[in-house]
Amino acid sequence: MDAVEEAFREQGRNQVQMPPKSYLYYEKYNGDLRTMPAYLEGEDRTGVKIVNVHTENPQKGIPTVMAVVILNSPQTGAPLAIMGGTYLTSMRTGAAGAVAAKYLARKESSVVGVIGAGVQGRTQLLALSKLFKIDTVKVADLNIDLCRDFENDCRPHLDAEYQLTTDAKEVCDCDILVTVTPSRRPVVKDEWIFDGTHINAIGADAKGKQELEAEILLRSKVVVDDITQASHSGEVNVPLSGGVLKEGDIYAQIGEVVVGKVPGRVGDEEITVFDSTGLAIQDISTASKIYAKALDEGRGKSLEFL
């Protein structure tokens, strides 16, 4: 969480280079492959993540999302390390949701709703539990068995009341709503969202994906992780392309909120939305700390890259 917040802070100071994700689409396999380069000038760290999203992978016994991260030397361009990025991706995305909630959710938030009982729902909840006193967790998934697995995995880390359902509407009466589905049509209706709710919209991370009815965004303070990337692959991408939402309706980037250029939540009645597409700066900031710790502890294998 510290690594991700620092990455957002550098973004807010305009001290990063981060082209938008580039995509390769494999429609016949229901998947895609993305490359995500970044340079954090303040930390002087650079590298690239290569990550896939294949929604049918769990049926084959492998994760939906898998990744590798390569760190390079900014001074010479030489490769410093290559590391698995699958667990890193899950954790840094959960961390991003918690950092956003720190600035956008009500401080006394205690009820969390999660739509989508997969890996990412777990890390979102874990990170939120580090900042908020959560006493109730509402979990919705089309597969109730996945909800039960979610509770079993999360309860050792967060002993709260768990309410499990297959109806997304039933979890929307909450303080913080987390949506983590691969849906291409809205799964959350405008009428289900009450004043004061904060929403972490995580699932929409490619063109055409959408989890929230556009009307929710029109009455919310919408904060994106990166305006360029969110416009073509985030929760706002479909409403923008359809003309329902205008770029001027987007309040800010999260980095601008973190560094204090603009305020986050300013009233208890506000509805706030964080549109998280996942940024390369999060990966490189986190991977750099992992790399430094590995060197300190003598972990990893030394390879002759050159």
Nearest to 278 by CA among 228, 226, 238, 243: 226
Q: How far apart are CA 267 and CA 203, in angstroms?
A: 26
As to burial, measured by CB atoms within 10 angstroms (0-12 exposed, 13-18 middle, 19+ buried), residue 139 is: buried
Instruction: Identify which of 297, 290, 304, 306 has the alpha carbon closest to the alpha carbon of residue 83.
Output: 290
Q: Taking a C-beta distance cutoff of 8 angstroms, is the pair 154, 124 a contact?
A: no
Considering just the CA atoms, what is the radius of gyration of the chain in Å? 19
Residues linked to residue 252 through DSSP beta bridges, in sequence order: 223
Q: Is 49 a catalytic residue?
A: yes
Residue with the two structure tokens 């909450």: 174
The active-site residue out of 49, 102, 138, 221 is 49
Rounded Cα gap, residues 189 and 131, in angstroms: 27
Q: Residue 42 CB: number of other CB atoms within 10 A?
A: 13
Record the tokens describing residue 103, joined without a space. 């600035």
Place of tokens 């309706």: 249
CB atoms within 10 A of CB 133: 10
Q: Is the dihedral of CA 32, 209, 276, 133 positive or negative?
A: negative
- Cite the active site residues: 49
